[in-house]
Amino acid sequence: MPEGHSVHRLARQFGSVFVGERLSISSPQGRFAAGARRIDGQTLVGSRAHGKQLFLTFDNDLELRVHLGLYGAWSFGGDDTFRGASSIGAPRRVGEQETSDDGEELTYAGPPTPVGAVRVRLVASHGWADLRGPTACEVLTSGESAMIESKLGPDPLDPHADPEAFTARVRRSRTPIAALLMNQSVIAGVGNVYRAEVLFRRRLNPQTPGRELSTTDVQALWSEAVAAMLNGVRNGRIVTTDPLIWGGGVATPEEAHYVYRRAGKQCRVCNAKVLVSELAARKLYWCPDCQS
């Protein structure tokens, strides 16, 4: 599932490419035809991310809310003025780093014929965007969007977020911290990769109940999430390891993480074997020595 850094990159890309444009909006697949009619021909006036949720705001006081879920992804293209990633979305579809599908310069002769189940197509004067496979895709009023956002926890990528709200929710809970980090009402945007990596970087046992962590520990965990996710926004992929591990240049997928998807391999710090178990229906990776 795309984590918060990918959705913030989406919001930036929509902001730089489509905000201020009057958009032609359709549903080639047909499943979003009624919603598309409500915003077709309107001007996009804003885009924002809150955790894993993307909100596109139009000049008729309606918003398109998208949650990509496990399989959703956006693809983009445009003329020679278009600048941005060609695909952003589910790792299973496009990988952790956004790249052009064919590795070549994008060309534009109008949007291509839709391929596959395109839920929504947005077309502007210089580019287009196609959405496939989202968990949620709906048109809301600004008030309805505000209600959804009010139920989400603070977002580490929001410079105005209140980390004290995160600290308070963690320290009053008996739930293991590894489960709390995946709860979007506690902290918005952290997924399975960031969960495993920030816990390792803080040397925290993932099974520790939130209420047993000190305020200092929880505040440091928030700061770790902020730093890691900001790096993800800058680079378009999740790399949490120290550059000394990959010796400069670009980290390979094998070098990018301390524990995530490294079950049975040696810990990069202490050489113990990385363990994996299941928590809240997701695989949890950790080092039994560094995070004891």
Q: Check: CB of residue 170 under 8 Å from CB of residue 257.
A: no
Where do the domains of the chain lie, and which CATH numbers do they carry? Answer: 4-150 (3.20.190.10), 163-286 (1.10.8.50)
Q: How confident is the model at residue 3 (pLDDT cuts 50, 70, 90)?
A: very high
197 catalytic residue (yes or no): no
Of 46-55, 111-120, 176-185, the one with minimum mean pLDDT is 111-120
Which of the pair, 26 or 244, is modelled with greater confidence? 26
pLDDT of residue 32: 97
Distance CA 35, CA 61 (A): 14
Q: pLDDT tens digits, residue range 184-238?
A: 999 999 999 999 999 999 999 999 999 999 999 999 999 999 999 999 999 999 9
Residue 174 to residues 171, 225, 252: CA-CA distances in angstroms?
A: 8, 21, 37
Is 10's pLDDT higher than 70? Answer: yes
Q: Which residues contact 267 (CB under 8 A, 6 or more apart)?
A: 258, 259, 273, 274, 287, 289, 290
Joined together, the tokens standing for residue 61 give 């006081």
The percent of residues in the chain predicted with pLDDT above 90, rounded, is: 80
265 catalytic residue (yes or no): no
- If one counts every other C-beta atom within 10 angstroms of the C-beta of residue 220, the result is 16
Q: Check: CB of residue 25 under 8 Å from CB of residue 121.
A: yes
What is the average per-residue pLDDT within 180-184? 97
Distance CA 195, CA 229 (A): 11
Q: How confident is the model at residue 265 (pLDDT cuts 50, 70, 90)?
A: very high
**Which of 111, 122, 152, 117 has the alpha carbon at shortest distance from 132?**
117
Catalytic hit among 31, 202, 261, 282: 282
**Single-letter code of the amino acid located at 60:** N
Predicted TM-score (pTM) of the model is 0.91
114 catalytic residue (yes or no): no
Of 41-50, 80-89, 165-174, the one with minimum mean pLDDT is 80-89
User: Mean pLDDT across the chain, nearest whole number?
Assistant: 91
Is 175's pLDDT higher than 50? Answer: yes
Q: What is the 3-state secondary structure (H, E, C) of the chain?
A: CCCHHHHHHHHHHHHHHCCCCECEEECCCCCCHHHHHHHCCCEEEEEEEECCEEEEEECCCEEEEEECCCCCEEEEEECCCCCCCCEEECHHHHCCCCCCCCCCCCCCCCCCCCCCCEEEEEECCCEEEEEECCCEEEEEEHHHHHHHHHCCCCCCCCCCCCHHHHHHHHHCCCCEHHHHCCCCCCCCCCCHHHHHHHHHHCCCCCCCEHHHCCHHHHHHHHHHHHHHHHHHHHHCCCCCCCHHHHCCCCCCHHHCCCCCCCCCCECCCCCCECEEEEECCEEEEECCCCCC
Q: pLDDT tens digits, residue range 84-135?
A: 788 888 654 333 344 443 334 444 567 888 888 999 999 998 899 999 999 9
Catalytic hit among 52, 169, 201, 237: 52
pLDDT of residue 83: 72
96 catalytic residue (yes or no): no
Task: Determine phi and psi for 58, rounding to 5 degrees.
Answer: -110, 165
Is 52's pLDDT higher than 50? Answer: yes
Is 35's pLDDT higher than 50? Answer: yes
